[in-house]
């Protein structure tokens, strides 16, 4: 079998936001599969909202007094970049939750971010040497509205002064699964717990039974656990790494073991 036939006759539903789905779709199609885009989340950047931008600029204009900026997602980097036209101050340590976020930092500012060695989540960040002795240090966390609180709570517990900069928010698209149910979906890629919950919300009562019979490919055990709680019939497949290549590897492994 050639490289371009590894996913022959396999259709994968990709649920990432439109501007973040292209690379995964390309990898699937290069392997011979069919990638069907069905975004379950829309991203809106708060820098494009006058009132929200003013509040955020009050934070970003004080970054010279901060020790570190933590970015919890690639969207957080993109949202911050809309405010930091000249880039973050040179003395500011940049930290990323994972590889995709670190790549976004590199792309936006040609800067290297520190990131966890293995566990790409809040727990992994908290294990970094640079976050062990932070008493009286000022840290800003760039994130979306309504993110997890564990990271900030633990940083405060260690003595840091923590500020949130919510630079984007997420919405559930007005769409329906009617448009994909007739396309013979083999598996669905979901890359966050919120995305999985949105997918179930979009499905509603009319498509719920169909959705729960589908094979999920996810990027964390937390998402696999949530899928089980939501009632999905098949155990979700967890990608070996939380990036597009990891998702492709998981899909290929699943297909080979079918």
Q: What is the pLDDT of residue 2?
A: 63
- For 32, phi then psi, to 5°, come to 95, 0
With b meaning 16 or more CB within 10 Å and e meaning fewer, what string describes 76-111? bbbbbbbbbeeebeeebbbbbbbbbbbbbbeebbee
User: Of the ranges 54-58, 62-66, 222-226, which one carries the lowest mean pLDDT score?
Assistant: 54-58
Residue 217 pLDDT greater than 90, yes or no: yes
**Tokens read off for 115:** 């990131």
β-pair partners for 142:
71, 165
Calculate mean pLDDT across residues 9-35.
95
Q: How many residues does the chain have?
A: 258
Overall pTM > 0.75 = yes
Element (H, E) at 168: strand 161-171
The reply to whether CATH 3.30.70.370 applies to domain 3-41+172-256 is no
User: Percentage of residues in the chain with pLDDT exceeding 90?
Assistant: 82
> Do 3-41+172-256 and 44-170 share a fold?
yes
Residue 224 pLDDT greater than 60, yes or no: yes
Nearest of 224, 220, 226 to residue 243 by alpha carbon: 220
- Summarised one tens digit per residue, pLDDT across range 152-167 is 999 999 999 999 999 9
Q: What is the pLDDT of residue 29?
A: 97
Calculate mean pLDDT across residues 45-60.
84
**Tokens read off for 122:** 């809040």
CA atoms within 13 A on the CB side of 250: 25
d(CA 105, CA 81): 9
- For 153, phi then psi, to 5°, come to -60, -40
**Tokens read off for 17:** 């936001």
d(CA 6, CA 155): 45
Measured at the CA of 243, the angle between CA 11 and CA 77, to 5 degrees, comes to 120
Per-residue confidence at 126, pLDDT binned at 50, 70, 90? very high
CATH of range 44-170; options 3.40.50.300, 3.40.50.10090, 2.60.120.20, 2.40.30.110: 3.40.50.10090
Ordered by start, the domain boundaries in the chain are: 3-41+172-256, 44-170
- The mean pLDDT of the chain is 93
Per-residue confidence at 3, pLDDT binned at 50, 70, 90? low
Classify strands 93-96 and 161-171 as parallel, antiparallel or unpaired. Answer: unpaired
Calculate mean pLDDT across residues 121-136.
94
Q: What is the pLDDT of residue 182?
A: 85
Q: List, in order, residues 6 or more apart from 109 with CB less than 8 Å away.
A: 81, 84, 87, 88, 94
Residue 59 pLDDT greater than 90, yes or no: yes
Residue 50 pLDDT greater than 70, yes or no: yes
């Amino acid at each position: 079998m050639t490289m371009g036939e590894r996913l022959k006759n396999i259709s994968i539903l990709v649920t990432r936001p439109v501007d973040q789905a292209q690379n995964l779709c390309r990898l699937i199609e290069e392997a011979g599969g069919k990638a069907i885009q069905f975004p379950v989340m829309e991203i809106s950047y708060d820098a494009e909202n006058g009132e929200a931008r003013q509040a955020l600029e009050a934070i970003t204009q004080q970054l010279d007094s901060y020790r570190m900026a933590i970015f919890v997602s690639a969207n957080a980097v993109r949202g911050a970049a809309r405010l930091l036209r000249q880039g973050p101050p040179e003395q500011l340590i940049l930290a990323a939750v994972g590889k995709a976020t670190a790549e976004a930092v590199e792309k936006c500012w040609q800067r290297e971010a520190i990131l966890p060695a293995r566990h790409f989540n809040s727990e992994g960040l908290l294990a970094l040497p640079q976050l062990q002795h932070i008493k009286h240090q000022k840290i800003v966390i760039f994130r979306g509205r309504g993110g997890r609180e564990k990271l900030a709570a633990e940083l405060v517990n260690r003595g840091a002064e923590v500020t949130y900069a919510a630079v984007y928010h997420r919405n559930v698209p007005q769409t329906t699964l009617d448009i994909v149910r007739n396309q013979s979906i083999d598996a669905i890629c979901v890359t966050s717990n919120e995305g999985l919950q949105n997918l179930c919300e979009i499905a509603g009562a009319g498509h719920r039974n169909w959705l729960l019979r589908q094979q999920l490919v996810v990027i964390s055990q937390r998402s696999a656990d949530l899928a089980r709680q939501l009632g999905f019939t098949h155990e979700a497949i967890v990608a070996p790494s939380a990036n597009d290549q990891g998702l492709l590897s998981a899909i290929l492994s699943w297909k080979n073991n079918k």
